[in-house]
Amino acid sequence: MIPLSILDLSPVPEGSPVSTALRNTVDLAQRAERWGYRRYWLAEHHNMPGIASSATSVVIGHVASQTKTIRVGSGGVMLPNHSPLVIAEQFGTLAALYPHRIDLGLGRAPGADRFTAQALRRDLNTSADEFPRDVQELQAYFRAAVPHQRLQATPGAGEDVPIWLLGSSLFSASLAAELGLPFAFASHFAPALLIEALGIYRKNFRPSAQLQQSYVMLGVPVVAADTDQEARFQFTSPQQSFVNLRRGMPGKVPPPIDPASADWSEAEQQMIDDALGLAMVGSAATVKRGLEAFVAELKPDELMISTHLYDHAARLRSFELLAGMWPKA
């Protein structure tokens, strides 16, 4: 009875404009709502032609306006790129427009290379110690304002905006435990420290006003199809995207290829295996067995599914198959 949620990077297929990706995002969100997914999150990435969700709060607002009940949020907003006050006002506005439906997931990385991070006007010498202070500053903006308070977020103060911490390292696991916040681990692309991070978070969790017990959401890459062969074929699109990124040639999402014709090296295949090693790829039955084993071993409270494909129809089919075979929470 583990709830399923969706992480959408708004994939831009080769040969298509960004507008197609954003229309596809709305289409998937509306279907996900009908299929029973709990959350629909979008992620901040920059200078990546294959990802259309860089203006994350704008896309969240658009998706929320086109849906009715599903929670919509960020997976995540890269807080070092922004002033905490600006994020409080943006998400306070979203919460005022769509009450009790907005989540704010926060990451510590820039979501970009160093050159792009500099263009975002980040101080590249900023210490990691500033991220905890920024998170706490953001929390303070969401508290109800008191008389004579000199600085407040408007909108934002007193709004119901749950904060999550996201990460692929031990840092965010420790901070989420210390602050008593829900924790989402990016195991959909960086699973290496997953078990260690879970142990740290669960062992050190301190109850807070937001959360009384630890709550863990784990990212899982999933490609489900009518057959194992079809799923492996579709999976070559994110594999190619990953290799192109590692080669320093990020681009739009390429169409799938025959897995036997893949032109990456053994070293690149090892990088794929390291990054996407938790991928569940196959028929509904194959994916179900894999996810059940994953849940039995790690006991997450929620799963965040990532399916970054070229073919929108194949992506819809994957999420539909997954929803149909998974018990509703």
Rg (CA), the chain: 19
Per the omega criterion (within 30 degrees of 0), is the bond before 219 cis? no
211 contacts 241 by C-beta, under 8 angstroms: no
The pair of structure tokens assigned to 156 is: 């934002």
- Tokens encoding 189: 């692309």
Distance CA 73, CA 151 (A): 25
The size of the chain, in residues, is: 329
CA nearest neighbour of 32 among 255, 306, 230: 306
H/E stretch holding 97: helix 84-97
pLDDT for the residue 129: 67
* Domains of the chain with CATH codes: 4-227+279-325 (3.20.20.30)
Token pair, residue 73, equals: 């949020």
CA nearest to 157, candidates 139, 143, 146, 147: 143
Please say whether the beta carbons of 318 and 224 come within 8 A.
yes
In contact, 91 and 104? CB cutoff 8 Å: yes
- Under DSSP, the state recorded for 253 is B
Q: What is the residue-level pLDDT of the chain in tens, covering all 329 positions? A: 899 999 999 999 999 999 999 999 999 999 999 999 999 999 999 999 999 999 999 999 999 999 999 999 999 999 988 999 999 999 999 999 999 999 999 999 765 666 676 777 656 565 556 899 999 999 999 999 998 889 999 999 999 999 999 999 999 999 999 999 999 999 999 999 999 999 999 999 999 999 999 999 999 999 999 999 999 999 999 999 999 998 989 999 999 999 999 989 999 999 999 999 999 999 999 999 999 999 999 999 999 999 999 999 999 999 999 999 999 87
**Burial of 100 by CB count in 10 Å (0-12 exposed, 13-18 middle, 19+ buried)?**
exposed
pLDDT value of residue 200: 98
What six digits make up the tokens of 88?
A: 């409080």
DSSP state of 254: P
* Residue 254 to residue 78: CA distance in whole angstroms: 26
Rounded distance between C-alpha atoms, residue 326 and residue 329, angstroms:
9
SS3 312: helix
10 Å Cβ neighbour count for 113? Answer: 15
- Measured at the CA of 31, the angle between CA 25 and CA 37, to 5 degrees, comes to 95
Residue 18 burial (C-beta neighbours within 10 Å; 0-12, 13-18, 19+): middle
Q: Tokens for 28?
A: 């998937």
Residue with token string 């959909």: 188
Angle at 187 between CA 186 and CA 193, to 5 degrees: 100
Beta strands, E only, 83-204 = 102-107, 163-167, 183-185
Cβ pair 55, 88 in contact under 8 A: no
H helix or E strand, kind and range, residue 64: helix 56-65
H or E element: which one contains 92? helix 84-97
Beta strands in 108-228 (DSSP E): 163-167, 183-185, 216-225
Tokens standing for 113?
Answer: 């290379």
Amino acid 1: pLDDT: 85
